Structure 1
Amino acid sequence: MSEAPHRRIWLCADDYGISPGVNRAIRDLIARGRLNATSVMTVGPAIGRDEADALNKIAAESARCAIGLHVTLTAPFRPLTMYFRPLDGGLFLPFPKLLRAGLMRRLDSEMIRAEVMAQLASFRDLFGRAPDFVDGHQHAQLYPQVRDGFLAAVKEAAPDAWVRQGGRNIALMQRLAAPKALLLDVLSMQFRRRAARKSIAFNPAFAGAYDFTKVSDFGSLMGGFLDGLPENGLIMCHPGFVDDVLAELDPLTTQREHEHAYLAGEAFPQLLAANKVTLA
């Protein structure tokens, strides 16, 4: 009897462009063959021609590494479009306020579309092409009303890109055990329907959400993320080296270094092999 084939998955590092330390950590893992995707924040303070060229170079030298756009619509970042609303002190709304505004139908989908179009144009200017895929910082692409503007922009400016949905491929009882991931499951149901209606491809399943406020064993978490993940399923991760820029912008700091250390170490490829998984 022939051995079962390996599952091919996507392991995507979010937030390229948020800080120099995060950028270096992501490039290091791509060079080691430990990532096969990363998504770029074009509104981040650490993205420009040099950082884009460095990413392009290291990705071109790897067996296969997709580069996507990490659409950013939440604080503490600023929009690229001049008349974007609502804002909070000139910044995007914090994600709880943005989600609440979408649920209450208080957002302008056309304004969202225009901002996503601007970020797509910025990506094209930096990389000379459209992104391979498009996802969202703090999962904002899944929020009500936001998803309509997001998908309209992707369909117009990057029609060959796939988009990230956040639904998991697990049993009901497992879903109920993780409230944050359960919310992503619920939001992703409508997102998938809308993407399918527009003939926009998306990942069949998602993993990688966990409580960043707690000290966690990332190796154990990764084993759970792989469990039941189908072919072409996607795991998000947030590796990085902590620097002053990151500390000023994001509460997720030292856990990024834990993620990098695990992904760069020898236990990670052993885990992939034990689960008959390869990076796509």
Structure 2
Amino acid sequence: MNAAINEGVLGLARAQRLSAVGCMSQAPAFRRDAAQLRDLDVDAGLHLNFTEALGESGLYLPLPRLIAFSYARMLDAGRVKRQIERQLDAFEAAMGRAPDFIDGHQHVHQLPQIRHALFAVLARRYPGQGPWLRYTAPGCLDGVPTPLRRKARIIAALGSAAFARAAAQAGLRTNRRFLGVYDFQGGAQAYDDLLTLWLRNSCDGDLLMCHPALPAGGRSGMDAQRGAEYQVLSKPGLDEWMSAIGLRIVRYADA
């Protein structure tokens, strides 16, 4: 989405603190920095986007409207499919290969109409060798505050079960369970506390999402919290702590 996010993500990937990077393929910042991502030992995937125009024309709606329209089957099916195709084309043009995985900005990939179009496109473009897909049903949430547990379950309720069934029918892999849902507040200490809970609760094959960006002064809201995530994910000793409790970060394509 912007240079600060790219720099933070690339730095964490080089330090082997991340195993996968989702890309908004039509964003100018992605096209500019894709060459740096190509050489890194991470899964690179399409972060399917229907809510952030980023200067591009297309089918982009505020998330509440997109959810309502998709459940009412009011989206133009042809436009949905063409937008998925364009974003895959842009990813492949920048990276020189198909994506290792596909997920969705604000989890839109699992919504009705969008998921139907996505599986149709994947079957046509990548027969027999499709990418892995993000499944949003929450993993163990022991100790996670009640409002954040509720948010994780709401995300899953918006399509995770149907998405998992469609993935199984298509012969495509998904992560086991999903962690990392929170309210994007609280600064570095709050994120550090949550990360500790998520990692202690995690099991083999679970996916933990994050949203880091290189910190910079004067930022507020989501931008500041992205910087806080970067501080926690890049802190010295994280690798050793994870190793001590029996965890390691791996590329899902290699799992």
Q: Which TM-score bucket, shorter chain as reference?
A: 0.7 to 0.9
Q: Report which stretch shifted further, 255-264 or 147-156.
A: 147-156
Aligned to 1:74: 51
Equivalents in 2 of 1:243, 1:228: separation in Å? 31
Question: Letter of the aligned partner of 1:260 in structure 2?
Answer: Y
Residue 19 of structure 2: which of 21, 28, 36 is its match? Answer: 36
Q: Which residue is 2:239 aligned to? A: 269
Structure with greater helix percent = 2
- 4+ residue runs over 6 A deviation: 171-176
Change (3 A) 1:189 1:52: same
In structure 2, relative to structure 1, the CA distance for the partners of 1:38 and 1:171 (3 Å cut) is closer
Q: How does 1:156-171 map to 2 (within 5 A)?
A: 156-158=124-126, 159-170=129-140
Q: Secondary structure at the match of 2:248?
A: strand
Contact 1:120 1:157 in 2 (8 A): no
The number of residues matched between the two structures is 244
Report the Cα distance in structure 1 between the residues aligned to 2:170 and 2:14, rounded to whole angstroms.
35
Hey, which of these two has a bigger chunk of strand by percent? Answer: 1
Q: What is the match of residue 194 of structure 2?
A: 221
1:161–1:68: structure 2 CA closer, same or farther, 3 Å change rule? same
For 1:254, the equivalent position in structure 2 comes to 224
**Is the 8 Å Cα contact of residues 29 and 263 (structure 1) preserved in structure 2?**
yes
**2:66 & 2:235 partners in 1: Cα distance?**
37
Counterpart pick for 2:90 among 112, 115, 122: 122
Structure 1 distance, partners of 2:73, 2:196, is 38
Which consecutive unaligned segments of at least 5 residues does structure 1 have?
1-17, 86-91
- Would you say the 8 A contact 2:215–2:228 is kept in 1? no
User: Structure 1 residues 175 and 266, CA, compared in 2 at 3 Å: closer, same or farther?
Assistant: closer
1:51 to 33, 45, 65: 33
**Secondary structure class of the residue paired with 1:131:** coil
Q: Distance in 2 between matches of 1:242 and 1:44?
A: 21
CA drift at 1:109: 3.2
Q: Identity, % of aligned pairs?
A: 27
TM-score by length of 1: 0.79
Higher RCO, 1 or 2 (CA under 8 Å, sep at least 6)?
A: 1
CA distance in 1, matches of 2:211, 2:145: 22
Q: How does 1:150-189 map to 2 (within 5 A)?
A: 150-158=118-126, 159-170=129-140, 177=147, 178-186=149-157, 187-189=159-161
From 190, 210, 216, the equivalent of 2:162 is 190
Q: Which runs of 5+ in 2 are unaligned?
A: 251-255
Kindly tell me: are residues 114 and 185 of structure 1, through their superposed partners in 2, closer, same or farther at Cα, counting changes over 3 Å? same
Pick which of 202-211 and 180-189 moved more. Answer: 180-189
Give yes or no for contact 2:143–2:197 (8 Å, CA) kept in 1: no
Name the CA shift for 1:228/1:119 in 2 (closer, same or farther; >3 Å): same
Q: TM-score, length-normalised on structure 2?
A: 0.86
Which of 109, 113, 129 pairs up with 1:145?
A: 113
Task: Report the counterpart of residue 136 of structure 1 in structure 2.
Answer: 104
Q: CA RMSD in A?
A: 2.5
Secondary structure class of the residue paired with 2:28: coil
Change (3 A) 1:243 1:176: closer
Deviations 1:30-72 (Å, cap 9, x if unpaired)? 1111111101111223122x41111113x0xxxx311111111
